[in-house]
Structure 1
Amino acid sequence: MADYLKLPAISGKLFRVVVETPRGSAAKLAYERKTRVFEYSRPLPVGNTYPYDWGFVPSTLGDDGDPLDGLVIHQAAAAPGVVIKCDLLGALRVKQQDPDGSKVRNDRYIFCPHKEDAQDEPVAIADVPQDLRREIEQFFLSSVLGTGKKIKLKGWQNAAEARASLVEGMKSFKRKFSH
């Protein structure tokens, strides 16, 4: 059985995102390290659904001890365990306070699937309309209701800034899991 957490984060110039929770789901699913399966985690607040595929960048480690989070903006809905090669658009910087009072940085990286036949046109968070960015912010704010977590949004990063943070997450993973 594949260990999604240890897949290489990068394929060529593209980032891999492992889908945990597909677009349209009203429940959060999570990949469990020990059993290597996708499990039901919790329902979202009433009326909320994931606006896009949600998952993680493999071979990364964030301040919260989990792989770095990724939202894949596209019109389709994948399934848990599907790996999508993506262009990085940017990131939403997030400061999270957990129920025990500890504070961590827990950014949300924003991706779009790479179209194999597309020209090598640069893509950027600036290409995501301002209204859509605000809707994504509102989703993240409402998605933590009832979890005991509090989040503060700290603004958007462009692709270069987000890439630097992802590289740091890759280094953290390597330090912890390379024995």
Structure 2
Amino acid sequence: MDAPVFLNTLPTLDRHGAVRVVVEASAGSRSKFKYDPASGCLVLHHVVPPGSCFPLDFGFIPSTLGAGGDPLDALVFADEPLPVGTVLPCRLLGVLQAEQVQGPGPPRRNDRFLLVPTASLAYAPWRDLGDIPPAVLEGLETFFVSYNAQRGVRFRPLGRRDAAAAQALLAAGP
């Protein structure tokens, strides 16, 4: 019998080369779940205040590790909100580069990779950062500044990079 595969240990890429994403918060939801590797479950991490919700499906890219010790964050432009725990193959569009500070420590990188499901109909033509309207990118940055401030974390956008740069960051690993 094969050993169980936990969500955080799935290969980053599927057999077709698509980037896997595990959804931790559905678009339009106020609830943010976090994967607990010890139990293999997604547990409720926090709830954003009324009047605020996740603008896109938010999750992580398995078998990666960011500067904060967690898997790399992913924002998915999906045709409709996806259930928490969904694993979906995606293509990279770009990355919102950012740093955050929590407590007295130094800033650490906490980028947000931008992706589209390979099965998308609405976003099928999107291939790169330039396909995303600038106002949408500004709104995402504003959301994460506010979302983190509510939790006592300072989030500072550093820049936006295209699909090739996002792929290079993903390939570079921690």
TM-score, normalised to structure 2, is 0.90
Correspondence 1:104 to 2:108 = yes
Residues 59-97 of structure 1: CA deviation (Å, up to 9, x unaligned): 100000000000001231111111110010000000111
Q: C-alpha separation between the residues in 2 aligned to 1:100 and 1:21?
A: 28
Q: Which amino acid aligns with 2:113?
A: Y
CA contact (8 A) 1:8 1:58 kept: yes
Correspondence 1:9 to 2:12 = yes
CA contact (8 A) 1:45 1:143 kept: no
Counterpart of 1:166 in structure 2 is 170
Structure 2 gap ranges (5+): none
Change (3 A) 1:81 1:20: same
Q: How far 1:142 sits from its partner (Å)?
A: 1.1
CA contact (8 A) 1:22 1:77 kept: yes
Counterpart of 1:177 in structure 2 is none
Correspondence 1:83 to 2:87 = yes
TM-score, normalised to structure 1, is 0.87
Q: C-alpha separation between the residues in 2 aligned to 1:61 and 1:135?
A: 26
Q: Which amino acid aligns with 1:152?
A: R
- What is the aligned residue count? 169
3-state SS of paired residue (2:75): strand
Q: 1:56 aligns with which of 53, 60, 66?
A: 60
Q: Which amino acid aligns with 2:12?
A: A
Q: How far 1:100 sits from its partner (Å)?
A: 3.4
Correspondence 1:23 to 2:27 = yes
Q: C-alpha separation between the residues in 2 aligned to 1:121 and 1:51?
A: 20
Q: C-alpha separation between the residues in 2 aligned to 1:150 and 1:121?
A: 34
The percent identity for this pair of structures is 34
Q: C-alpha separation between the residues in 2 aligned to 1:168 and 1:147?
A: 29
Structure 1 gap ranges (5+): 173-179
CA contact (8 A) 2:78 2:120 kept: no
Correspondence 1:139 to 2:143 = yes
